[in-house]
Amino acid sequence: MSLESLTPTPAAGFDMPLAILSACHDRILRFCDMLERLAEHIQNNGVDLQAVETAKLIHKYFSTAGKHHHEDEEKDLFPLLLHHDEGLGSLLSRLVETHRQLDSNWEQLEPILLSLDTIESNKEAFTILTYSFATSNRNHIQLENRELLPCAALLLSNTDNEYLGQAMAKRRGVPYRKQTKI
């Protein structure tokens, strides 16, 4: 289990909100991989300092950025897309439903990550839960990358993208700035 995979990579600016959402998908997938490695590490080595530190990183990511990601989509992106194409209602409803399932899985997983010392008696259940959470995230992201983001790229205007980027920046408490092109 290596922490090197957490090294930040250059990110898009909020003036490119779809790129930010896509990059967030990549980070979610990396944290899902890390979560599965954590479960395997605990199965093989028990709870040690490395496991505790990794659990803290995973918890921090999913309880902040992961939460913001769902809000970005449901509160801002989805309504914009429905405004342009009501035919997307079925897809968007399905995505909201999987968000609720992911949130429910996270509610089960979060307290375990916060108190790994209690895991010794229930390592197998933790492992099953982590793999279920990771698999559900992978399936959800695959659908969003295959259907949602391409539709958004086609439908959203520059004004829509600016609105979306501003909302995403505000949600994170950071200023919205347009990137300057070199």
Query: pLDDT for 114-170, tens place per residue?
Result: 988 888 778 888 999 999 999 999 999 999 999 999 999 999 999 999 999 999 999
4 by Cβ neighbours in 10 Å (0-12 / 13-18 / 19+) ranks as: exposed
Query: pLDDT for 76-97, tens place per residue?
Result: 999 999 999 999 999 999 999 9
Q: Which residues contact 86 (CB under 8 A, 6 or more apart)?
A: none
Query: Dihedral of CA 41/47/48/54: which sign?
Result: positive
For residue 4, give the DSSP letter.
G
- CA 123 to the chain's CA centroid: 24
Query: pLDDT for 29-86, tens place per residue?
Result: 999 999 999 999 999 999 999 999 999 999 999 999 888 999 999 999 999 999 999 9
Average pLDDT over residues 92-118: 94
The pTM of the full predicted model, rounded to 2 decimals, is: 0.88
Nearest to 1, CA basis, from 29, 55, 37, 25 = 37
**Torsion-angle region of residue 115: left (phi > 0), alpha (psi -120 to 50) or beta?**
beta
**Residue 176, helix vs strand vs coil:** coil
Domains and CATH numbers, the chain: 14-172 (1.20.120.520)
**Torsion-angle region of residue 46: left (phi > 0), alpha (psi -120 to 50) or beta?**
left
Q: Cα(38)–Cα(119) distance, rounded to whole angstroms?
A: 12
Q: Cα(134)–Cα(121) distance, rounded to whole angstroms?
A: 22
Q: Which residues contact 147 (CB under 8 A, 6 or more apart)?
A: 91
DSSP 115-143: TGGGGGGGHHHHHHHHHHHHHHHHHHHHH
